[in-house]
Amino acid sequence: MSKVKDAVKLMKDEEVEYVDVRFTDPRGKLQHVTLMHTEVDEDFFEEGFMFDGSSIAGWKSIDQSDMKLIPDPASVYIDPFYAEKTMCVHCTVVEPDTGEPYDRDPRGTAEKAEAYLKASGIGDEAFFGPEAEFFLFDDVRYSVEMNKVSFEVDANDAAWNTDTAYEMGNMGHRPGIKGGYFPVNPIDDAQDLRSEMLSTMKRIGMKVDKHHHEVASCQHELGLIFGTLTKQADDIQKYKYVIHNVAHAYGKSATFMPKPISGDNGTGMHVNMSVWKDGKPLFAGDKYADLSQEALYFIGGILKHAKTLNAFTNPSTNSYKRLIPGFEAPVLRAYSARNRSGCVRIPWAESPKAKRVEARFPDPSANPYLAFSALLMAGLDGIKNKIDPGPSSDKDLYDLPPEELAAIPTVCASLREALENLEADHDFLLAGDVFTKDQIKGYLALKWEEVYAYEHCPHPIEYKMYYSC
């Protein structure tokens, strides 16, 4: 109740006029409903708010549409963008007649994953540190019609604009292809914009530490400090929200598409993970790279189930434009200390408390609640079943002889392949009812729609290759 009282006190202290109740749909998009502050008191946090779930893709049919949002008082913050003073709160979804968690609610899945970890006896807390990149453009246009399929993006600082004629002149300072990591201004012209993004995040209570230009032209990253699974998924939703809106205020457009442009690096969301038990880091030990045996088994689970995980960690058809060789993409199912070319890395750390493993294949098109939960479940399956990850790969995997490269398994090459793997290999996700068969069925149905839409649409490059055949 103390969190509830704190939330109500914040409303009064800040003279809040509106309360924005927010939840996340299966695809990972943040949704909201805004209430007058007079509708929100201590009872509201217990009784929740009814809404129509039939309008959310992948949820209920029209004849079973009533659903209830239960606000989490620990998640409240003052919105930094609305003109009227508004307090935001993240919610989980429950069945209104029973009060039981709705099994297709992503945030509820994350909470169940944390509960399962404790019940398993393996650990008490799982910490996640995602590193989500994004692109900034000044102009974005696209069309998908029966007679026209096209897109065009532009940005003043893009590598392709070195010879563009501007009314005020072309200053010439811009990063080249794969040249954005990371020279100072004026080549990096987004310093103030990123600083405002980071400062805004700090003002709404997020733990942040840095920002910088990324490798690709127009690509950027802000740093989040690690947190527990559900809270960190909440923070990724806030991260996207702040970046989209600050960019919009600057007259720019931010995108978390994994591969919005061709010929340069794509956008990833590396996910650092650790498990703690009894106040001690479970992953610190005397094995490879000072990892514990449990950490190696955790890696074994990630590598074994990587192709299934792709359905959640790389859930867009565009994800697989990034997961290709040649652009620092972690395609190979291998692990190593420091080496960034495998899909799992063990970052160097002086303190045992900082010992962690990093999954490098996820991208920010993922629903963070589902992606983090699936990663944890795969790792715990590795620990439970003592899955050996095999020997580490400490060579540069991008420069292996063809015969060695052929022996290393890969992640999926398409969303279709990822969904087929999820259909065939999902028992580990059902442990503890963290995920349910109904939830996976609904998620698959949504994602197959995207695959069919993508596969049935002619692509401009097909005209280039085949029109005169």
Residues of each annotated binding site for ATP: 209, 340, 353
| Inter-residue contact 365 to 317 (CB < 8 Å) | no
Residue 52 is among the residues annotated as catalytic for this protein: yes
- The catalytic residue among 20, 221, 234, 264 is 221
The DSSP secondary-structure symbol of 410 reads B
Please report the DSSP string for 208-222 in residue order.
EEEEEE-SSTTEEEE
Binding residues for Mg(2+): 131, 133, 214, 221, 270, 358
Binding residues: 131, 133, 209, 214, 221, 265-266, 270, 322, 328, 340, 353, 358, 360
- The catalytic residue among 32, 340, 423, 425 is 340
- The catalytic residue among 234, 358, 363, 381 is 358
| Inter-residue contact 193 to 247 (CB < 8 Å) | yes
| Inter-residue contact 118 to 124 (CB < 8 Å) | yes
Amino acid type, 458 = P
Please report the DSSP string for 250-291 in residue order.
TT-EEE--S-SSSSS----EEEEEEEEETTEETTBSSSGGGB
Residue 455 is among the residues annotated as catalytic for this protein: no
Residue 221 is among the residues annotated as catalytic for this protein: yes
Q: How far apart are CA 152 and CA 77, in angstroms?
A: 36
| Inter-residue contact 412 to 323 (CB < 8 Å) | yes
- The catalytic residue among 111, 133, 188, 235 is 133
- The catalytic residue among 14, 46, 52, 152 is 52
Give the angle subtended at the CA of 16 by the CAs of 242 and 250, to the nearest 5°: 25
Residue 152 is among the residues annotated as catalytic for this protein: no
Residue 350 is among the residues annotated as catalytic for this protein: no
Ranges of H-type helices in 156-249:
191-203, 229-249
Residue 358 is among the residues annotated as catalytic for this protein: yes
- The catalytic residue among 20, 72, 131, 381 is 131
Residue 388 is among the residues annotated as catalytic for this protein: no
Q: How far apart are CA 45 and CA 4, in angstroms?
A: 7
Residue 345 is among the residues annotated as catalytic for this protein: no
- The catalytic residue among 360, 363, 381, 426 is 360
| Inter-residue contact 312 to 444 (CB < 8 Å) | no
Phi-psi region of 154 (alpha: psi -120 to 50; beta: other; left: phi over 0): beta
Residue 427 is among the residues annotated as catalytic for this protein: no
- The catalytic residue among 90, 104, 213, 270 is 270
List the catalytic residues.
52, 131, 133, 214, 221, 270, 340, 358, 360
